[in-house]
Structure 1
């Protein structure tokens, strides 16, 4: 169910050719099939698989898809207090602009995001148009399957539009009934969220609860329910979101689903995985269908991966995993006192002889999220510090872990000679996310005991994580994570929920969007800048304003629309 290169990109499917900058769609390549020729069972199914293919954020090739990664690491994490771009300050300077809130409409990361996900919209629309032609003509597809295909295509379209909406907010809505001429000048002055909701409701009503054809990457009813609940959450419609989350969680016990399995390339179809971008290494070693969006996050230098040194956890995130004597997080941000910064700032003998302080009290999820000097890292051995980092003085002494696979799996799950390109799947929505969204709804509806139980289920599972070790075989920290005994009031519960989402979902693409929808982005990010900038000067004095909650629309797209699109 990976990228399907369909030669029959039809005229009827060119609805967003101009707005997406897909010039090759504006003329028929030699040997291209006409609409009647592909308005068949095989043609529709192939077009639908092509729509699924955009889930990995890649249209073709392997390099350059980072901004469109399904993990949304650049916009969701680097723009937040969780991650740095990494590498060196002069590398990928347009990413620096995303990180420090100075992006302009010429930023190529914005163009990539726009073009890739509108390509997904295009393919979903093309599927629906071909399906309609079949149903009005030869009817090779049964009515039951036709309804499922509609549900899948509209679910995918809702996802692609939601990703675009979170980044740009004001975007044109183009569906299967939009003509090419209309698409060229479609304005972006309409709130598209109701259209997203309509698609998701249709998917809920018409998708099965089981996977179509037994294929784990297919859309289903529970995915649609979780996604609609998430959209309602962004609208602060707690009462409408909660029943959807409750349905998805019915009969499931998150404490029986190991946290680490979510990032294990050998256990990718586990019970916690809801909506997933499936990845694969092609039989010829081609990486088109692999996890190309996350490839830059590979460890640098002498590491077994060898490239590319981007996407490093912040010092602030690492310290957020500190716990108090009761095994609870420090909700008042006092974790920044006596900060832990590994060997940052040391030189000479002090640097060479640095030894990990194993007496620090940490939530064990830290060492399943972050690589730090002196701690065992997957099966690579002990993380040595700077030898695996491009420039620690710029982006800090820590490396990420959730995007990496064990060295023992390179042969089966990485592109030959490119161990930073793997087929590790990416969770777009996993069950822990739903648990915490349900807890958030309960808090906002003032159902604090229920919220307490939900949050504690996440913490009780974290307590089951095996301790990570040092080179000497002893525990790498004084690990502790315990449940909350009570939520004394709604404000405390809200802080606990927001902190828990950070700890559980760190480096998975959620953080920036959470801060924005909670209305605390300016406060949180400028406070973070004050702390992080005192240790790493590149992040000092960041200023975040309300216009930074969304990004500029690419100027190239405004030009193609003959200035119909209005800049944010």
Structure 2
């Protein structure tokens, strides 16, 4: 039985719904406290294992309580994570013009829906993780299986806090179970303190998650998922100032440990990573697991779906009514690829052109759509799969790739280049070539070898490689901020230094008297 099947059995009745709006305001009794002498079999949540499994479902789920998926996989997530990049926006949905203004044009609003949902759903996940951790603590659980569950809870909490600190800066740190509203009415903590909490959670996860999962648990967290997330935090925590050499070294140490584990490899060809048959492939470190049963549309109680694929599908008509048309590539991204780079054809669908079967297409030609010239090919699926799922206008079964081994390789290359020294320079050159060799897929006429000349030259090469390797993923804006490039690249679109962070949503401010708005909002 794999993790999706386990989620099906447990998730439906597993976790009580937690609304942070309710948490910070109206209710007088948030959750009933179980007596400390309760055994695991007495707990309503179905045991620590059940609570841990529930966290995997809640970041995907947009149907039933606790539906955190809107803040992690759907249209409450995409604008916050990608529309500020200059490479992604939303053109195709006529009802989404306000999102272009709010995100792509950097006119943020504290009252905008996605901003509020993003904040709310991230704190929901944190509070669910806290319930798991309080359960383990109250029962004094320290057996190996429980330590793994605790590590899973801490990983998910760190994952949520990393999103929050990247997007808001100072935020309240809640690490305990909530029993009354005042427990959650905390002031913001300094950014350094948020990262210290993330460090503590991920260090525990690294020490207690298994190095590998059995085939019956594919998709469940492992030690290297904690290392990868932790490595990413070291590159971001100094932003918008340059990353310190100490943090580059900490990141490199983690990346080197992942590489040395030999548990992962770059999956070839590049376009094949995004096929549903290759979910959880050799390159995958963590994915949000999704499934849609045959002949049951998204939203049916028997499906375990997310809006990730559907909300990014081509928004046409007839056979090309494949989704909502969010997260469209921009001309800037199209122009970013080197001549002949196969990753462009694997990443972008072009209106009026073939879907390019040699790069992951299905032998179809897109109509000459005018609502968007470009579409995200990384969530484009075989129409036969949609029909089999009973959802010809959606793709609710597509896994969301969150952490990939390619990111580990490019983080290692960046760190080695910044730290410097002959050995590091050589390693950086080799790691960059691994990414380019996989991309060229045996065609030596494209993507020539990049030889190390000097640090500045190689830094530019790594920046370029990250942009196209992770095109249409959720990396570009944060890379620009941490490199100190956001103003020069995005300033013409309206970016100002304050736009590194969003304003705190109005409902959160109204509900928490100790919360203050971010500067300049």
User: TM-score band, normalised by the shorter chain?
Assistant: 0.7 to 0.9
Instruction: Quote the Cα distance in structure 2 between the aligned partners of 1:66 and 1:462.
Output: 32
The structural deviation recorded for 1:423 is: 1.1
Q: Do structure 1's residue 404 and structure 2's residue 408 form an aligned pair?
A: no
Q: How many residues align?
A: 485
Alignment partner, residue 331 of structure 1: none
Alignment partner, residue 363 of structure 1: 341
Q: Give the root-mean-square deviation of aligned CA atoms.
A: 3.2
Report the secondary structure of 1:429's partner residue: strand
Alignment partner, residue 408 of structure 2: 434
Q: Do structure 1's residue 310 and structure 2's residue 284 form an aligned pair?
A: no
| CA deviation string 1:8-51 (max 9, x = no partner) | 639xxx795645679698477xxx99884743893222222222
Instruction: Quote the Cα distance in structure 2 between the aligned partners of 1:256 and 1:91.
Output: 35
The structural deviation recorded for 1:385 is: 4.7
Report the secondary structure of 2:398's partner residue: coil
| CA deviation string 1:420-445 (max 9, x = no partner) | 23211111110001100111101111
CA gap of 1:60–1:512, structure 2 versus 1, over 3 A, is farther
Alignment partner, residue 513 of structure 2: 562
Alignment partner, residue 374 of structure 1: 353
Alignment partner, residue 492 of structure 1: 457
Matches within 5 A, 1:497-508: 497-508=462-473
Matches within 5 A, 1:57-136: 58=62, 60=64, 68-69=72-73, 72-88=77-93, 90-91=95-96, 93-94=98-99, 96-135=101-140
Alignment partner, residue 225 of structure 1: 227
- Are the counterparts in 2 of residues 15 and 180 from structure 1 also a CA contact under 8 Å? no
2:434 paired residue among 442, 453, 457: 457
TM-score, length of structure 2 as denominator length? 0.84
TM-score, length of structure 1 as denominator length? 0.78
Instruction: Quote the Cα distance in structure 1 between the aligned partners of 2:380 and 2:66.
Output: 17
Instruction: Quote the Cα distance in structure 1 between the aligned partners of 2:215 and 2:153.
Output: 16
The structural deviation recorded for 1:85 is: 1.1
The structural deviation recorded for 1:449 is: 1.8
The structural deviation recorded for 1:211 is: 1.4
The structural deviation recorded for 1:269 is: 1.9
The structural deviation recorded for 1:234 is: 1.5
Instruction: Quote the Cα distance in structure 2 between the aligned partners of 1:41 and 1:558.
Output: 31
Alignment partner, residue 298 of structure 1: 313
The structural deviation recorded for 1:286 is: 4.5
More displaced stretch, 223-232 vs 42-51 = 42-51
- Are the counterparts in 1 of residues 14 and 51 from structure 2 also a CA contact under 8 Å? no
Unaligned runs of 5+ residues in structure 2 are 238-242
Alignment partner, residue 481 of structure 1: 447
- Are the counterparts in 1 of residues 312 and 325 from structure 2 also a CA contact under 8 Å? yes
CA gap of 1:281–1:33, structure 2 versus 1, over 3 A, is farther
Report the secondary structure of 1:301's partner residue: coil
More displaced stretch, 65-74 vs 260-269 = 65-74
Report the secondary structure of 2:441's partner residue: coil
CA gap of 1:203–1:15, structure 2 versus 1, over 3 A, is farther
2:498 paired residue among 547, 556, 562: 547
Instruction: Quote the Cα distance in structure 2 between the aligned partners of 1:321 and 1:563.
Output: 47
Report the secondary structure of 1:291's partner residue: coil
The structural deviation recorded for 1:507 is: 0.5
Matches within 5 A, 1:119-518: 119-135=124-140, 143-176=143-176, 180-191=180-191, 192-211=194-213, 214-235=216-237, 236=243, 237-250=247-260, 251=262, 254=265, 257-282=268-293, 284-287=296-299, 289-302=304-317, 303-323=319-339, 362-372=340-350, 373-377=352-356, 378-387=360-369, 389=370, 391-392=371-372, 397-412=373-388, 414=389, 416-446=390-420, 447-464=424-441, 480-484=446-450, 486-518=451-483
More displaced stretch, 313-322 vs 497-506 = 313-322
Instruction: Quote the Cα distance in structure 1 between the aligned partners of 2:94 and 2:26.
Output: 32
Greater Rg by CA? 1
CA gap of 1:286–1:299, structure 2 versus 1, over 3 A, is closer
Alignment partner, residue 339 of structure 1: none
Instruction: Quote the Cα distance in structure 2 between the aligned partners of 1:68 and 1:25.
Output: 27
Instruction: Quote the Cα distance in structure 1 between the aligned partners of 2:15 and 2:408.
Output: 39
- Are the counterparts in 1 of residues 83 and 327 from structure 2 also a CA contact under 8 Å? yes
Unaligned runs of 5+ residues in structure 1 are 324-361, 467-477, 530-541
The structural deviation recorded for 1:63 is: 11
CA gap of 1:268–1:162, structure 2 versus 1, over 3 A, is same
Alignment partner, residue 240 of structure 2: none
- Are the counterparts in 1 of residues 74 and 308 from structure 2 also a CA contact under 8 Å? yes
Report the secondary structure of 1:276's partner residue: strand
CA gap of 1:8–1:232, structure 2 versus 1, over 3 A, is closer
- Are the counterparts in 1 of residues 292 and 396 from structure 2 also a CA contact under 8 Å? yes
CA gap of 1:33–1:183, structure 2 versus 1, over 3 A, is closer
